[in-house]
Amino acid sequence: MFIGAQVSLYPLCDRFAEVILAAVAALDPYRDRLRIETDDISTLLVGPPENLFPAMQDLFVAPARTGVHTVLQATVSRGCPGEPDDPVCRSPVLERQPAADADRAIAEALERLPGDLVETGVSAAAQIALYPLGTTEHMADIGACIGFLRRSGAYDRPKNFCTRLRADAGRVFPVMAQAFLGFGAGHGHAVLTATVSANSPSGAV
């Protein structure tokens, strides 16, 4: 399987280049566990989800902790039929059997949330959308995912085309991970889009 994310970081301040370069250093501990490629638009992270989502969290939290208005935009994909399998992506997390029904899928995703989530001190707002592809059951999977989000401890409210989350970043990113992994066929093609923001001058709207 191939699993990865295209991630772009936007610190909204005059010294954005300095902030971005400093934030990218937060990815250094993951360089032996993820394939990381950066260009002038985004950073590609390829690897297993247990490393992928913590790396995105650390990339986001590093500048957000300084008080800078920080936005992270990510497109996360697994099982794309146009991508070759990559050994770096192998993970027992991807070997789960599909749940028998929506209620069981929600319960299993809640069970997989770490019980010892560590707060980062960064209050994050996010809007996410899950796209299970290559299946006629996509609306059932999306509905179950929304059911999980409502019970995840990070749910804020529905929005057009997405669901809004608000919590400490240390909860938002693990919730995003389970939304991405817990719904749709385990080896099926699925995409999650996410925009995460902290320290916005407009506050919650």
Over the stretch 112-169, which tens digit does the pLDDT of each residue have? 998 888 999 999 999 999 999 877 788 989 999 999 999 999 999 999 999 999 999 9
pLDDT confidence of residue 205? 45
Over the stretch 38-70, which tens digit does the pLDDT of each residue have? 998 999 999 999 999 999 999 999 999 999 999
Select the more confidently predicted residue: 111 or 115.
111
pLDDT confidence of residue 135? 77
pLDDT confidence of residue 188? 82
User: Would you call 142 exposed, middle or buried from its count of C-beta atoms within 10 A (0-12, 13-18, 19+)?
Assistant: middle
pLDDT confidence of residue 186? 67
Over the stretch 6-19, which tens digit does the pLDDT of each residue have? 999 999 999 999 99
The residue-averaged pLDDT of 169-178 equals 97
Distance CA 65, CA 72 (A): 14
pLDDT confidence of residue 199? 96
pLDDT confidence of residue 115? 81
pLDDT confidence of residue 204? 52
Residue-by-residue DSSP string for 108-128 = HHHHHS-TTPPP-S-EEEEEE
Q: Tell me the longest C-alpha to C-alpha distance in the chain.
A: 51
Q: Determine how many CB atoms are found less than 10 A away from the CB of residue 194.
A: 24
- Name the CATH architecture for the domain at 3-198: 2-Layer Sandwich (3.30)
Distance CA 132, CA 192 (A): 9
The residue-averaged pLDDT of 62-84 equals 94
